[in-house]
Structure 1
Amino acid sequence: MSAPEAADAVVIGAGHNGLVAANLLADSGWDVVVLEATGAPGGAIRSAAVTGPGYLSDLYSSFYPLGYASPVMRALRLTDHGLSWRHAPDVLAHLLPDGRAAVLNRRPERTAASVEEFAAGDGERWLKAYAEWRSVSAPMLDTLFTPFPPVRGGAALLARLKPAGALRLARRLILTSRRLGEEVFRGEGAQVLMGGCALHTDLSTEDAGSGVYGWLLTMLGQEYGWPVPDGGAQRITDALVARLRARGGRIEYTARADRVLTARGRAVGVSTMDGRRWRARRAVLADVPAPALYLELVGPAALPPRLVDDLAHFQWDGSTVKVDWALSGPVPWENPAAASAGTVHLGADLNGLTRYATALATGEVPSRPFLLVGQMTTADPSRSPAGTESLWCYTHLPFRRDWTSDEVLAHVARMESVLEEHAPGFGRLVVGRHVAGPADLEGVNSSLVGGALGGGTAAAYQQLFLRPIPGLGRADTPVDRLFLASSSAHPGGGVHGGPGANAARAALARDRFLTGDAYRALIATAHRAVY
């Protein structure tokens, strides 16, 4: 076996969180190498022509309100490395089964006018809700994307809200999406905008804490929009890679990690399946799901038994079916309000969202799926030839890793039926189609276990200090100098760079501010209290 190569930090995985972590460490002068199992970087942020010549599809994630607004991503200044953003004329349209549409536009008065059509006074209520959001948005985002407990952001929030306001916010954060919508608005338009956004996660409109996701995504859409990278999602990855290389960072492709090497309770490197070893002088950071890190790369023997037991209760988010289409013309929406929206929700009213989520929770395949649709050419005309549309759609299935291709295709037929109902003649425009079921998603990206996109459920029992399991809610692990940098860590799923940034900060703190013995004693004491 050849002598190991060495770097200050070895990062496992070139998904966006791994690349964010690598960039931040490189900014501090560290020598960084990223080990990527596949032949390309980006994880779930990639683009390709999979439906036909001239049609560009975002293969996994697409619209990026969190990435655009995230303080982590903004601080990286990716626009200096080729990234630019595009917006559709409207942010979001939710089509109800009765044909009505609620529309979110970046101009608050336009959104207010849309929800006013559902209930008198809801336009003013929307503007009031948005004003309340704007008063807390900056410290709220700082709080979301920093390690737990969020001392600085939390202090700023408390200063703005005062204790009484903070208590009311705390209550809002645990409300169900349905309850929050009913408390703030009178009509179904505004309620269903938030409810549909809550279902971007694996939660139901009836789940505690689902309200905050609907509130966050709609308010981010109102303040920032839901932009897309000009030229495809791949541009985010390209910018992260270019920035890292400019700072001396390296990426090794087809280098699948098979073990985190440890000595005396400390991570000292990584071995890859091709027999190579990579020595880490300062830290190992892992942008992989928590079960993969702990049970496969580290191994149960090197971990506290209680942690291993807790991982048996780790819950994934739902399986996903995603379809991309090349269309010879614009989607023929029956309600023209959907034509100018980058994202369209369809297939359910508020009660329908609950029925859909209930079917998933009971392990049933929804007979009428709720669809999240992306009109990519509407948002970015470079995605397909003039006068056409590059379209995608995804929906969820109950979490399983054994979905067959026949089951997936049967569900695709249900999805296309819902589309045809809202856009008669849709099928005649299809000139190309690409289907990615749960097994396909996991097959090309092993972090998308069973087609789960979020690195674990968004449910309240697996968030904050409970993510990925009951513990500190931080990137630190029971193995010294090993840090969890994936969406399995706080603050969870989405393209915002929070887990990667938190892991980099933890590695820097371990190296810069505390001696090894002091840090190990501190972390060991904390973990003994938990495990």
Structure 2
Amino acid sequence: MDNHQQFDAVVVGSGPNGLAAAITLQQRGLQVLLLEAKDTVGGGMRTAELTLPGFHHDVCSAVHPMGMASPFLRTLPLHDFGLEYIHPPVLAAHPFDDGTAAALYQPLNETAEGLGVDGGAYRNLFAPLVQSWPRIDTHILGPMLKIPKDPLALASFGLKSLQSGKQIAARFRTREAKGLWAGIVAHSMIPLDALTSSAIAFVLTIAGHRGGWPIPRGGSQSIADAMAGYFRSLGGTIQTGMEVKTLADLPEAKAILFDTSPKQLLEICGHKLSPFYRWQLNRHRYGMGVFKVDWALTEPVPFRAEAARKAGTVHLGGTFDEIAGGERRVWKGIHPEKPFVLFAQQSVFDGSRAPTGQQTGWAYCHVPNGSTKDMTEAITNQVERFAPGFRDTIRATHTFHTEAMERYNANYIGGDINGGVVNIAQLFNRPALRLSPYRTSAKGVYICSASTPPGGGVHGMCGYYAAKQVLKDIF
């Protein structure tokens, strides 16, 4: 690289937030360089043949409710650059041991009708939030310390989302409604009885009712490729295979944005940061890790519940109490025998993912941060529990423990795919308590990763807001 080449801004890291930041700046006519350590762009949005030739597995992100819900991504002409979303008929299924299942559908009323006596409670809880979402989405999916457009709607969301998943579950009477809710709350990667554990579940559920939980045709890499294609069409420059270890690796620029964890930010430019800011970054807490399994399968997973066979996402863990207990044990550093498993079956709806007549399976469970324990058998047992005969469909298996996840993406510290714990302690100080969470203490240096608001997920909002801050401060 010619370190004397002039750019207005350099973005380090090409995950959804790095791409979003680069696009936002390039849209304003700036000259932007996007750097990526790996050979392909994408961060958590990559697809690869992990098991056998012809079986295309999403390495990390798989199902994309935030792709439809993101105020930023919705503005981009990604369809023109090859992105196509597929919508499974069931967004998420939650099977039980008796062969039945609760289900999340895009129509709110269809979901409520399937919950029997809890249908009214479900409507009362979600209908107002789904209706008011367009008036509060940019606030919820962004920095908290700003004046809301609709204070009443925001207060309604805030009062609910500050509660624990357990508190919200108390509104329901049936196993089905409580179980369905538990599976969605568990995406938060904090105990279900912790304050704010409901927040992510509310966002995901609202996103589902408004736009679905879609799957990108061809794999999550197609989202990254579409964003990169659009960025290049604006005149942006991308360089892959470029690992940044120090500021000296970068060309001259007025602004540098890091789509990295606080740990990497400290390693690259800690000497430029103030002692207090360094102290704040060192206190940033990382959460549960994940153990991931991908399978090449001979046929669709034989779930007993029909809803599970039609779902893009299947939550495997049984009752609310079972899931809550398992997640609590992981939080305490214990590996549960029956972990909560997030399972996706993209190839059922996307024939490009596997050879004709065959399928892929994608799953992970939560484990203590930094764990290297092999959870393959525990995860397989949970699938077999709700889909007897699953083992007989397995042709090949590929796994990632937390260290492998971090090698794949250096932002996944200890296997934490959320960029840090998303709990009440880090709600307003992510990654540090500042008027702008995207500014660092060094002039012209910004952080735009999932370690900033609103946190993890393929939405690009962290990068978008960081770029807006750069435009306000410098250009």
**TM-score greater than 0.5 by the shorter chain:** yes
User: SS where residue 466 of structure 2 aligns?
Assistant: helix
Q: Report 1 or 2 for greater relative contact order, CA contacts < 8 Å, sequence distance ≥ 6.
A: 2
State the distance in 1 between where 2:409 and 2:280 align.
Answer: 25
Alpha-carbon separation, structure 2, partners of 1:201 and 1:175: 13
CA distance in 1, matches of 2:222, 2:285: 31
- The residue number in structure 1 matching 2:399 is 435
Per the alignment, residue 133 of structure 2 pairs with: 137
| Alignment counterpart, residue 264 of structure 2, candidates 292, 295, 314 | 292
Equivalent-residue separation in structure 2 for 1:493 and 1:113 (angstroms): 31
Greater Cα shift, 235-244 or 44-53:
44-53
Indicate whether 1:491 and 2:463 are aligned. Answer: no
- 2:69 aligns with 69
Written as runs of structure 1 = structure 2, the 5 A alignment for 1:118-133 is: 120=117, 122-133=118-129
Compare 491-500 and 133-142 and name the one that shifted more.
133-142
1:444 and 1:177 map into 2 onto residues whose CA distance is 31
Counterpart-to-counterpart distance in 1, 2:298 and 2:215: 22
Structure 1: gaps (5+ residues): 261-270, 513-531
Partner SS for 1:83: coil
Q: Secondary structure at the match of 1:71?
A: coil
What secondary structure is seen at the aligned counterpart in 1 of 2:293? strand
- 3-state SS of paired residue (1:348): coil
Q: 1:226 to 1:391 in 2, by over 3 A?
A: same
Change (3 A) 1:168 1:71: closer
Listed as ranges, the matches of 1:127-526 within 5 Å are: 127-151=123-147, 154-155=148-149, 157-158=150-151, 161=152, 167-183=155-171, 185-260=172-247, 271-272=248-249, 277-280=250-253, 282-293=254-265, 295-299=266-270, 301-400=271-370, 403-404=371-372, 407-408=373-374, 411-463=375-427, 465-512=428-475
**Structure 1 residue 310: Cα displacement:** 2.6
Q: SS of the residue aligned with 2:245?
A: strand
Task: Tell whether the 8 Å contact from 1:455 to 1:492 is kept in structure 2 after alignment.
Answer: yes
Q: Per the alignment, do residues 416 and 2 of structure 1 end up closer, same or farther by CA in structure 2, a change over 3 Å counting?
A: closer
What per-residue deviation string (whole Å, max 9, x for no partner) do you get for residues 365-394 of structure 1? 111111000011223232223433211110
C-alpha RMSD of matched pairs (Å): 1.8
User: Alpha-carbon deviation of 1:503?
Assistant: 1.0
Shift of 1:31: 0.5
Partner SS, residue 246 of structure 2: strand
Deviations, residues 345-380 of structure 1 (Å, cap 9, x unaligned): 112311011111111121111111110000112232
Partner of residue 87, structure 1: 87
Q: Secondary structure at the match of 2:170?
A: helix
Q: Tell me which amino acid in the other structure corresponds to 1:128.
A: N
Cα distance in structure 1, aligned partners of 2:176 and 2:92: 12
Does the 8 Å CA contact 2:303/2:386 hold for their aligned counterparts? yes
Q: Indicate the SS of the match to 2:123.
A: helix
What is the CA distance between 1:101 and its match in structure 2? 1.1
Partner of 1:55: 55
Q: How many pairs align?
A: 475
Percent identical residues: 32
Task: Report the Cα distance in structure 1 between the residues aligned to 2:140 and 2:155, rounded to whole angstroms.
Answer: 17
Change (3 A) 1:44 1:167: closer
> Which residue identity is paired with 1:289?
S
Contact 2:2-2:251 within 8 A present in 1 as well: no
Contact in 1 for aligned 2:192/2:328 (Cα 8 Å) = no
Asked if 2 retains the 8 angstrom alpha-carbon contact of 1:85 and 1:230, the reply is: yes
Q: Give the aligned partner of residue 25 of structure 1.
A: 25
* Paired amino acid for 1:7: F
SS in 2 for 1:200: helix
Does the aligned pair in 1 maintain the 2:315–2:342 contact within 8 Å? yes
Moved more, 346-355 or 1-10: 1-10
Match of 1:263 in 2: none
Maintained 8 Å contact 1:194/1:218:
no
SS where residue 132 of structure 1 aligns? helix
Q: Is the alpha carbon distance of 1:130 and 1:379 closer, same or farther for their aligned partners in structure 2, counting shifts above 3 Å?
A: farther
Shift of 1:320: 0.9
1:194-240 alpha-carbon deviations (Å, 9 max, x no partner): 22111112111101001122222122212211001111111101101
Shift of 1:124: 2.7
CA distance in 2, matches of 1:207, 1:390: 34
Consecutive unaligned residues in structure 2, runs of 5 or more: none
The farther-off stretch of 338-347 and 191-200 is 191-200
In structure 2, what is the equivalent of residue 101 of structure 1? 101
SS at match of 1:226: coil
Taking a change above 3 Å as real, the CA distance of residues 330 and 166 of structure 1, as seen in their structure-2 partners, is closer
- The verdict on how the C-alpha distance between 1:303 and 1:218 changes in structure 2, with shifts beyond 3 A counting, is same
CA positional deviation for 1:413: 0.7
Shift in CA distance, 383/2, structure 1 to aligned 2, threshold 3 Å: closer
Deviations 1:418-454 (A, max 9, x none): 1112111111111121111111111122112221101
The AA in structure 2 aligned to 1:258 is K
Q: Please report how far the alpha carbon of residue 98 of structure 1 lies from its aligned counterpart in structure 2 after TM superposition.
A: 4.4
Q: What is the Cα deviation at residue 167 of structure 1?
A: 4.5
Q: Any idea what SS the aligned residue of 1:55 has? A: coil
Shift of 1:338: 0.9
Aligned-partner Cα distance in 1 for 2:292–2:91: 20
Which entry has the higher C-alpha Rg, 1 or 2?
A: 1
